[in-house]
């Protein structure tokens, strides 16, 4: 049916997060902190030839009703040291991590990612996020937070400076000629000078250019600003559009923005996060999926979820009973802190939920299970492989970031049973084609963006945003 | 957590500085330096394997936000020390991993979880050498504030260490309860806000990272000035001093211990280590010849800042014995002039002599760096305060 080689699927694996997707009540649930958990997931992913391992970041523990939220997993390690440690126990797997642009400075971040790229032989990726709130800022010396509109402005300027720093060492800067006594080729380290709205950075960078030139850049924002930012800047979009139709629409939208940004098609990969539940029959898989959803949404979690929308205490209500009869408080802002509140005016949402619950006879818990369900592939290994491939071949995505519900073995069955089927049909690699994450993703190694001017003043001026 | 048996842990502590190609700036130019592998992590993995064969206390990874001073022939370029320590963690056992992190231009919240994470990944072998920056060069790299005086930078470091230590305790050890009956993952009464509101920082807490195997990873401070001596006295578990002679070391160690007592601490809870530059050879003349060669390659005098042992392994073993037995030092931070030459000699020729004299361990006494330093795992200040 299709002509030419099959489009290749890209697969990442997400370390379970601190949210209700991760089931910690299951007896098979292991440590979220012990390095052995990270190593297990990474080694299994590499054995299955996946593109990358992904680790999210936290900068303040979530709070609910003024107290630390204790129903989900709480606590996680620092992103970059985990990835650096994983570089020691893997050889090819990409190592991607979320780092905020709001509470970090470009000089430090650029050297951390250059270091990770060197320590991993070219496998580093940075999922660049912006942090909006003063709540998180309370842990940092600059405190406060940025107005919404400035978040991407600061992020864009930070990336610009980081790239100037990564490019300030020529690829062949280190000659280490012991006879001649020349360690760095003269003139191969170019001073950087940047003066912008958010950053003033000047100096000789400390760290050689990494094997990938720049780490692979991920971006996860879904707002129009976020999509444009990704189209201009990112290599991968970590997307939340995991249904087929929404995925195709998002894919087309981003392709248009990418073209408008003057970048070639295929230079920005779209990878939605998704979960997978397998069974020997479709019915068995659906039953397992149902059990997992019940584990993910126990009664207290269902109540806490409604409280985020209602903006008021609902602990008096039975999660197995009908929806609260009180009206939501539209003024209550931030009953849950440390995660984005998407609902602006809760009243239409509540009205719709009441209608759906009444029509279907749902309890609070059943409603929450329904409205928090995201795209998931449920079925036999053959069915799931067919579906994953269908999405990618039809440009609903370029692949997926697989999110397990159990730490650390929650994807073992997917890696063992689904990936080989994708390999059989020629949609997924059976061996890594090269050593770097850019090789896995089919992304070009960036040339230095540093101007080749010989006049340092002109070179510096050209770097100013 | 097994408590180390003090009698099984002789009171000599030896660390090894693995920065660059060695402490001498010309080390990279000598035969066998593998200068092209300078940024290859496997080079460091091999050096750490050698060091732990000798059951040395720790390896030290220096770092700074500026390049090494400019001279065309000089080795230049740095990797982030915490990430290097993390990269070494799964590939090492027993040995402490000391990473230097600046406090002048970083966030204590980030520093605390980074060191904690190396502690988790290494099974309790992380340590933090506190850095600070006073140069215009580093200030310009961040562009947020002008360069600070040493006194101001150290005062800021002092505040940063206090915050980091509080964040390290902000989770009690048994905070994670996984109580299925009540669906509570943590007992939030065992998570603590640090609520620091100081001169340089305001930090709310708690850490995002649970308390690590050592609880408090050791803090290493270079005491080289009145200000940094005071910082060490207040906060350090390991104090690095410079000394030109045995009597000078004895005086400085006494000074550190007195300052710690003055700050209300038990001086016995500090390990005072003398920086020792090391150039080894089969006899004194060959060691001196090695140094002469390094000096001629670099073309300038080697500013060591501390004592240098240029001589035999036997002589270094004797020196370690003399200085530690007389209380001039609790041990040494050995700074090999050339890593590729001196590290193996330290492990294969100095350590066996110390072991033969009953002065140095033949195996690690426990699993954590605190075990090796013979420092108990501290109680959590927050749970201690409640109890």
DSSP string, B361-377: -SS-SSSSHHHHHT-PP
Q: Say if B134 is an interface residue toward chain A (CB within 8 Å).
A: no
User: Has residue B78 got a pLDDT over 50?
Assistant: yes
The residue of B21, B199, B208, B297 whose CB has the most chain A CBs within 10 angstroms, and thus the best one to mutate to test that interface, is B208
> Among A375-384, B8-17, B322-331, which is the least confidently predicted range?
B8-17
* Residues of chain A with C-beta less than 8 angstroms from the C-beta of B176: 74-75
CA–CA gap between residue A32 and residue A22 (Å, rounded) = 10
Domains observed in chain B: 11-171+199-368 (3.20.20.30)
pLDDT at A74: 95
| Cross-chain Cβ contact A138/B204 below 8 Å | yes
Cβ–Cβ < 8 Å for B218, B370: yes
Instruction: Report how many Cβ contacts below 8 Å link chain A to chain B.
Output: 216
| Cross-chain Cβ contact A77/B113 below 8 Å | yes
Residues A402-423 pLDDT 10s: 999 999 999 999 999 999 999 9
Q: What is the mean pLDDT of residues B25-50?
A: 93
Q: Which of A220-234, B26-40, B252-266 has the highest mean pLDDT?
A: B252-266
Q: Say if B103 is an interface residue toward chain A (CB within 8 Å).
A: no
* Residues of chain B with C-beta less than 8 angstroms from the C-beta of A60: 204, 208
Residue B205 region by backbone torsions, left for phi larger than 0, else alpha for psi between -120 and 50, else beta: left
| Cross-chain Cβ contact B185/A204 below 8 Å | no
Question: Closest approach of chain B CAs to the CA of A196, in angstroms?
Answer: 11
Residues B153-202 pLDDT 10s: 999 999 999 999 999 999 999 999 999 999 999 999 999 999 999 999 99
CA–CA gap between residue B317 and residue B311 (Å, rounded) = 11
Residues within 8 A of A (CB atoms), B 352-371 only:
none
What share of chain B in percent tops pLDDT 70?
Answer: 95
Q: Which residues are registered as beta bridge partners of B187?
A: none
Helix (H, G, I), strand (E, B) or coil at B81: helix
Question: Closest approach of chain B CAs to the CA of A74, in angstroms?
Answer: 7
Cβ–Cβ < 8 Å for B44, B17: no
Angle at A245 between CA A240 and CA A247, to 5 degrees: 35
pLDDT at A4: 65
| Cross-chain Cβ contact B65/A107 below 8 Å | yes
Question: Closest approach of chain B CAs to the CA of A130, in angstroms?
Answer: 16
Specify the residue for token string 């992190």: B101
Residues within 8 A of A (CB atoms), B 137-166 only:
137-138, 140-144
Choose the closest CB to B72 out of A111, A141, A182: A182
What share of chain A in percent tops pLDDT 70?
Answer: 93
pLDDT at A462: 37
Question: Closest approach of chain A CAs to the CA of B168, in angstroms?
Answer: 12
Residue in B233, B300, B232, B230 with CA at minimum distance from that of residue B74: B300
Sort B246 into a burial class: Cβ within 10 Å, 0-12 / 13-18 / 19+: middle
- Omega of the bond leading into A408 within 30 degrees of 0 (cis): yes
pLDDT at A417: 98
Q: Say if B204 is an interface residue toward chain A (CB within 8 Å).
A: yes
pLDDT at A147: 78
pLDDT at A340: 57
Q: What is the mean pLDDT of residues B231-244?
A: 97
H/E/C letters for each residue in chain A?
A: CCCCCCCCCEEEEECCCCCCCCCCCCCCCCCCCCHHHHHHHHHHHHHCCCCEEEECCCCCCCEECCEECCCCCCCCCCHHHHHHHHHCCCCCCEEEEEEECCCCCHHHHHHHHHHHHHHCCCCEEEEEECCCCHHHHCCCCCCCCCCHHHHHHHHHHHHHHHHHHHCCECCCCEEEECCCCEEECCCCECCEEEECCCCEEEECCCCCCECCECCEEEECCCCHHHHHHHHHHCCEEEECCCCHHHHHHHHHHHHHHHHHCCCCCCCCEEEEEEEEEECCCHHHHHHHHHHHHHHHCCHHHHHHHHHHHHCCCCCCCCCCCCCCCCCCCCCCCCCEECCCCCCCCHHHHHHHHHHHHHHHCCCHHHHHHHHCCCCEEEECHHHHHHHHHHHHHCCCCCEEEECCCCCCCCCHHHHHHCHHHHHHCCCCCCCCCCCCHHHHHCCCCCCCCCCCCCCHHHHHHHHCC
Sort A147 into a burial class: Cβ within 10 Å, 0-12 / 13-18 / 19+: exposed
CA–CA gap between residue A451 and residue B334 (Å, rounded) = 44
Architecture of domain A10-279+378-441: Alpha-Beta Barrel (3.20)
* Residues of chain A with C-beta less than 8 angstroms from the C-beta of B78: 111, 206-207
Instruction: State pTM to two decimals.
Output: 0.95
Question: pLDDT truncated to tens, each residue of chain A (465 aa)?
Answer: 445 689 999 999 999 988 889 999 999 999 999 999 999 999 999 999 999 999 999 999 999 999 999 999 999 999 999 999 999 999 999 999 999 998 999 999 999 999 999 999 999 999 998 877 788 999 998 666 677 778 889 999 999 999 999 999 999 999 999 988 899 999 999 999 999 999 999 999 999 999 999 999 999 878 888 899 999 999 999 998 888 999 999 999 999 999 999 999 999 999 999 999 999 999 999 999 999 999 999 999 999 999 999 989 999 999 999 999 999 987 776 677 776 555 678 889 999 999 999 999 999 999 999 999 887 999 999 999 999 999 999 999 999 999 999 999 999 999 999 999 999 999 999 999 999 999 999 999 998 866 544 444 443 433 333
Confidence of residue B2 (pLDDT cuts 50, 70, 90): very low
- Residue A392 in tokens: 């990618």
Question: Closest approach of chain A CAs to the CA of B247, in angstroms?
Answer: 39
Q: A432: annotated binding-site residue?
A: no
| Cross-chain Cβ contact B87/A87 below 8 Å | yes
Question: Closest approach of chain B CAs to the CA of A175, in angstroms?
Answer: 7
Q: Say if B77 is an interface residue toward chain A (CB within 8 Å).
A: yes
Q: β-pairing, A67-68 with A63-64?
A: antiparallel
| CATH 3.20.20.30 placement within chain A | 10-279+378-441
* Residues of chain A with C-beta less than 8 angstroms from the C-beta of B113: 77-78
So what's the ipTM on this one? 0.96
pLDDT at A451: 53
């Amino acid at each position: 049916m299709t002509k030419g080689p099959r489009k290749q699927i890209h697969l990442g694996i997400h370390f379970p997060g601190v949210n209700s997707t991760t089931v910690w009540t299951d007896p098979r649930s292991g440590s979220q902190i012990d390095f052995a958990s990270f190593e297990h997931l990474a080694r299994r992913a590499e054995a299955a030839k996946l593109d990358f391992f992904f680790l999210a970041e936290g900068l303040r523990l979530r709070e609910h009703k003024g107290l630390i939220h204790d129903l989900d997993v709480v606590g996680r390690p620092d992103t970059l040291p985990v990835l650096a440690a994983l570089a020691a126990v893997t050889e090819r797997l990409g190592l991607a991590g979320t780092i905020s642009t709001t509470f970090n400075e470009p000089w430090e971040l650029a050297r951390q990612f250059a270091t990770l790229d060197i320590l991993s032989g070219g496998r580093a990726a940075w999922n660049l996020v912006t942090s909006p709130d003063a709540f998180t800022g309370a842990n940092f010396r600059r405190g406060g937070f940025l107005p919404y509109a400035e978040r991407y402005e600061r992020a864009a300027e930070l990336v610009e400076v980081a790239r100037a720093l990564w490019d300030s060492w020529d690829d062949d800067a280190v000659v280490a000629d012991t006879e001649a006594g020349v360690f760095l080729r003269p003139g191969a380290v170019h001073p950087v000078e940047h003066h912008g709205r958010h950053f003033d950075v000047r100096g000789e960078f400390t760290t050689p250019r990494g094997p990938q030139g720049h780490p692979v850049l991920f971006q996860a924002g879904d707002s129009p600003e976020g999509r444009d930012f990704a189209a201009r800047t990112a290599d991968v979009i970590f997307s939340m559009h995991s249904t087929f139709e929404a995925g195709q629409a998002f894919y087309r939208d981003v392709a248009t923005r990418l073209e408008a940004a003057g970048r070639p098609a295929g230079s920005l990969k779209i990878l939605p996060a998704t979960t997978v539940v397998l069974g020997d029959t479709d019915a068995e898989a659906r039953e397992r999926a149902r059990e997992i959803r019940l584990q993910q949404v126990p009664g207290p979690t269902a109540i806490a979820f409604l409280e985020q929308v209602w903006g008021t205490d609902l602990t008096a209500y039975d999660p197995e009973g009908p929806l609260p009869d009180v009206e939501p408080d539209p003024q209550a802002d931030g009953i849950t802190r440390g995660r984005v509140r998407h609902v602006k005016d809760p009243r239409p949402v509540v009205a719709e939920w009441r209608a759906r619950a009444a029509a279907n006879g749902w309890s609070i818990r059943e409603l929450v299970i329904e409205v928090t369900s995201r795209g998931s592939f449920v079925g036999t290994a053959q069915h799931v492989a067919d579906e994953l491939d269908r999405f990618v071949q039809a440009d609903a995505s370029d692949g997926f970031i697989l999110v397990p519900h159990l730490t650390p073995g929650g994807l073992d069955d997917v890696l063992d049973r689904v990936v080989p089927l994708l390999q059989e049909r020629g949609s997924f690699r059976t061996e890594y084609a090269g050593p770097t994450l850019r090789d896995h993703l089919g992304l070009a190694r960036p040339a230095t963006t540093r101007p080749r001017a010989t006049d340092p003043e002109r070179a510096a001026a050209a770097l100013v945003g | 957590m097994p408590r180390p048996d003090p009698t099984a842990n002789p009171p000599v502590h030896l660390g090894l500085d693995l920065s660059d190609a060695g402490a001498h700036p010309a080390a990279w130019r000598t035969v066998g330096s593998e200068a092209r592998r300078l940024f290859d992590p496997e080079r460091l993995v091999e050096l750490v394997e050698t060091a732990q064969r000798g059951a040395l206390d720790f390896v030290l990874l220096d770092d700074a936000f500026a390049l090494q001073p400019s001279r065309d022939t000089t080795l230049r370029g740095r990797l982030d020390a915490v990430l290097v320590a993390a990269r070494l963690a799964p590939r090492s056992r027993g040995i402490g991993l000391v990473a230097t992190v600046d406090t002048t231009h970083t966030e204590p919240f980030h520093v605390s979880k980074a060191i904690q994470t190396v502690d988790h990944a290494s099974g309790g072998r992380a340590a933090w050498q506190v850095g600070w920056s006073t140069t215009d060069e580093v200030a310009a790299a961040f562009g947020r504030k002008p360069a600070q005086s040493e006194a101001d930078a150290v005062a800021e470091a002092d505040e940063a260490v206090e915050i980091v230590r509080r964040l390290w305790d902000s989770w009690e050890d048994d905070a994670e309860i996984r109580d299925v009956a009540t669906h509570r993952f943590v007992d939030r009464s065992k998570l603590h806000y640090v609520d620091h509101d100081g001169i340089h920082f305001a930090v709310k807490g708690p850490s995002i990272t649970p308390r690590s195997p050592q609880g408090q990873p050791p803090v290493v401070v270079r005491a080289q000035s009145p200000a940094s001596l005071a910082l060490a006295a207040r906060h350090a578990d390991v104090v690095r001093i410079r000394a030109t002679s045995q009597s000078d070391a004895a005086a400085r160690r006494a000074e550190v211990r007195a300052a710690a007592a003055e700050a209300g601490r038990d001086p016995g809870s500090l390990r005072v280590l003398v920086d020792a530059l090391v150039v080894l050879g089969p006899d004194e003349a060959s060691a001196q010849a090695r140094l002469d060669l390094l000096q001629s390659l670099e073309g300038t005098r080697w500013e060591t800042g501390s004592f240098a042992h240029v001589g035999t392994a036997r002589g270094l073993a004797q020196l370690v014995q003399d200085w530690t037995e007389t209380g001039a030092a609790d041990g040494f931070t050995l700074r090999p002039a050339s890593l590729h030459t001196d590290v193996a000699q330290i492990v294969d020729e100095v350590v066996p002599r110390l072991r033969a004299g009953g002065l140095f361990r033949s195996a690690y006494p426990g699993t954590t760096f605190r075990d090796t330093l013979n420092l108990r795992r501290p109680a959590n200040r927050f749970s201690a305060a409640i109890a």
